[in-house]
Every structure is written in structure tokens, then in C-alpha cells.
Amino acid sequence: MGTTFHLLLHAWDGESKPATVPTQVDEEATGKARILIVEDEVIVSLVIYAAPRHSGVNVMTEKTIRFRPRYHRWHVDPGVDWIEPNTTHAHLDWTIPRAQCALVLLDVWNQHYLKDTEARAEQIIQRRLRPLLAASRQAALPIVHAPSSDQAREHAQWLQLPGWDQPSWPQDDSWPPTSFRHSEGEYASYRLPEEARDGEREAHRAGLRIHPDMQPIQGEPVIATGQELHLWCRNKGILFLLFAGFNTNACILHRDYGTIDMSRRGYTVIIVRDCTTGMESAATHATLTQTNNAILLSEMFGRYSVTSDELMEGV
């Protein structure tokens, strides 16, 4: 049986969203095209990215990555009223040594107990993360998998670096009291109530694994804690961390190997904003407000974002 090939041709000017173009591509773009292969159980897709047409686009070269990280600019131009509605996004222009940058795949799991969260994550994995992962591998960009401590310690490629289980920050076990931290004893009344479906959710969590389409390949480490991620980065000389995974307003922000703690450690943190989604509520589901606000919060306070297309452009 023959192999089916789907050719997806995209052109990008570095500013607007990539747009599908006719199969008739001019000679200049064709000659500079790069082929990205993403294997699937049924088909092999070839994604061809047209070459940049001017020097303002984001480029990944043999030794460096160039892209324009987005952040929230609290400042306004001279003569403009310094009020909140006049503050907005801005971009920088960075060229980073590839060896100093790593893609962190955070909690890219096979399932989620919230069905709509799971559906959005699956769509992102198939449409965004798989191409990004394939492009990063092809470009020899360092990749590390962070699937949570329990999943990491069960994985054959867990690094288990000496000191991985040391606390990320100094701790005073004497205060607050242990019983208070765990809402036990005299503090039990402050605990969240038990829910009828707690057991169901815990059984679901027990089945969490790295998504089958995002499994580490040889040479890609699995880490269990923020301390272990830090030790790996120190050993490799990594300074810039590109975060992709789930969920934006939970683990991406709050894991000890997540964006806030790694930023506090001094790393430059960039969220791949189209490679993540949050856990929404009845009030935010329709507009994905939790997802968007988690990204904005990061951009407002010392962290950055980028899109997967920007990172892959030029590969």
C-alpha cells in the first residue's frame, strides 16, 4: 500500500498569521523551503514553510534562534496619558544561542478529568505541539519533559540527578504547624469539603501518563521537580526556557518546575502561547479568559510569550 502525503504550504511575512497559499509557489520560496516530517499511524504529513522575504522575520539558524518575544509594556510614549487603556503588548527582537535555550514540555498528559479541557488539549497537541516538537528535534533544540513527580519517577528516562528531591526554597518546618498546612486536627474545619466524585477523580489521576504522541525519544530527559530541572539546566548551560503544555492557569504557572518558580530562580521564561490551554469555569469557558489572563499575567510581570509558528519559521 502506498503512503499518502498531505502537502500544507504556508507563507508568512513575519507579522500577520500564516496563510495557506496555492500550490504554485515561486522559485525563490521553493528553493529555500524546509521540510518538516511528522509521523502518524496512518499518514505522513509534510509541512513546508516558505522562506522569509525580509530580515524582520523570526529565523532559527544553525546556531541561534531569532524571534520576537511579546510582553506587556506598562509604559506609554511621551505625550500619551499614562492610564491602563494606553498600555498594551510590545515585542523585542532576540537572537539566542540555541544551546542556551530549551523547550520544556510540562504536564503534556494523555487525559484530563474535565472533558472540554481534555478536548482543547488534544487539539493543541495534534495541531501545534507535534509539529513544534518535530521541528525542535530536527533543529537539535534541547528538549526536556516535565510530567509531574509521580509520572517522571515511573519513566525509564527519568534523570534522577543527585539532589533532585531537595526543596526548591528554604523551608521552616516548625511554622506554620504541620497540622495547619494539612488542615488536620484543630484546623480540620478549614479544609475543603469532600466531594462525592473525589474517588473518581483520583482514579483518573492515577492513569495520567505522558501523551502517547509526545513521548520522549532517546536523549530527551524526564525531570521530576523544579530542583531537578534547575540542575539539568545548570549542567547544560541553559538560560532560556520555552514552556508548552497544560494547564496554563494551573501547572504552567504553579508547578515548582513551572514558569513562576523558574523565573524566580533567574531563568528567562517564555510561554508558547498557542501550545497551552487553561482550566476554565462557567464564567470564562466561552472566551477562554483563564487561559488568556494567565498568559497576560506572565507578560505583565517579567515573562514573555511567543507562538509556535514563530519558533518554527525558518526551520
pLDDT value of residue 62: 58
pLDDT value of residue 47: 38
How many whole angstroms separate alpha carbon 282 and alpha carbon 17?
A: 30
This prediction's pTM? 0.81
**Low-confidence stretches of the chain (pLDDT beneath 70):** 1-62, 314-315
Domains of the chain, first to last: 1-55 (no CATH), 58-169+208-312 (3.40.50.850)
Would you state the cell numbers that stand for residue 41, as one nine-digit string? 499511524
pLDDT value of residue 19: 39
Long-range contacts at 253-256 (CB < 8 A, ≥ 24 apart): 253/294, 253/297, 253/298, 255/106, 255/107, 255/146, 255/148, 255/226, 256/168, 256/225, 256/226, 256/227
Provide the strand spans (E) within 68-160: 70-73, 88-91, 94-97, 101-106, 143-146
Query: Cβ(247)–Cβ(106) under 8 Å?
Result: no
Distance of CA 242 to the CA centre of its chain: 6
